[in-house]
Amino acid sequence: MCGSALIMEPDLSFLDAPDFALPSYFAPHEDLAVPEMGDFLLPPNESPKAFHDRIAQDPHTRHVMDFAKGTTTLAFKFQGGVIVAVDARATMGGFISSNNVRKVIEINDYLLGTMAGGAADCQYWEHYLAILCRNYQLKNNEKISVAGAASMLANMVAQYKGYGLSMGTMVTGVDFSGHHLFLVLDDGTKMEGTRFSVGSGSPFAYGVLDQGYRWDLTLEEAVQLGRKAIYQAGHRDSMSGGVVRVYHVHESGWTCLIQGEDLMHVHDEEMNRKGMVGFDDEAGLIAPS
């Protein structure tokens, strides 16, 4: 009609589906079936999970889902919010495939996720979580809580337990009830805590965190604590390294404070502080006199 326009309301009825939190094109017991593994054919009337569990007990069977992985990610709460610090190294066994991987996934403007384990698994599920959080906001006209987002991720991956997912993620952010930090694992485990570290370098990171953590840290102290913990993990763990990235979750959302600082620069800074410049190159066995 001339002079007027017909405004159509968007059709969001698909959000009412009871299984909207799952990919509509995925059926775990069909799409993830294992037709064959090595010389073993999938027996009739045996589920893929039962088949995988049975042959996993055979020491002569190559475990196609067992792959080497390593990283260091950490996050902790303090009086000023939450600090998230990660390294950036991706490895394929003993091969370093990248030193510049972004292991903090920006879910939206108030939620962050970290990735440890299989990069593809973490990226897929956390990016899918971002879509579901946006759908929730459109449907309910309000933002999902941090606990709700963590529960959604945990519920999704729990349905694939035993199928080879490799995820050790943290979900953190701020909502109407304050700052929150959750650990979500690939078996559907979800727990809230004050500080977590995930990855092969986490023992070294925990050593630094346990020594320097206080609730009343200033923002600068908290940033330096996270930065130093990632440096020590990268220095001692061969599967961690590259650059360090630090994010701060605060009452307005999150801010990236360190975009990507080379860990070798942090190492040089530490050596200067200790008066040990050149010590790494000169240290060696002393010949007996």
* Helices 219-236, 202-212: crossing angle, 10 deg rounding: 150
Strand order, beta sheet including 104-106: 104-106, 111-114, 168-175, 178-185, 190-192
Secondary structure of residue 26 in the 3-state scheme: coil
Helices (H), 26-145: 28-31, 48-56, 119-140
| Cα–Cα distance, 50 to 64 (Å, whole number) | 15
Contact 246, 281 (CB under 8 A): no
Contact 242, 231 (CB under 8 A): no
71 is catalytic: yes
**CA triple 58-61-64, angle to 5 deg:** 125
Question: Residue 129 corresponds to which tokens in the numbers above?
Answer: 């979580």
β strands within 47-177, DSSP E: 73-78, 81-86, 90-92, 95-98, 104-106, 111-114, 168-175
- Phi first, then psi: what are they for 238, rounded to 5°? -70, -20
| Cα–Cα distance, 178 to 250 (Å, whole number) | 9
Side-chain half-sphere exposure of 7, counting CA atoms within 13 A: 2
Indicate which residue of 71, 73, 169, 172 is catalytic.
71
Which has the closest alpha carbon to 87: 216, 283, 229? Answer: 229
**CA triple 12-14-19, angle to 5 deg:** 140
Catalytic residues, by residue number, are 71
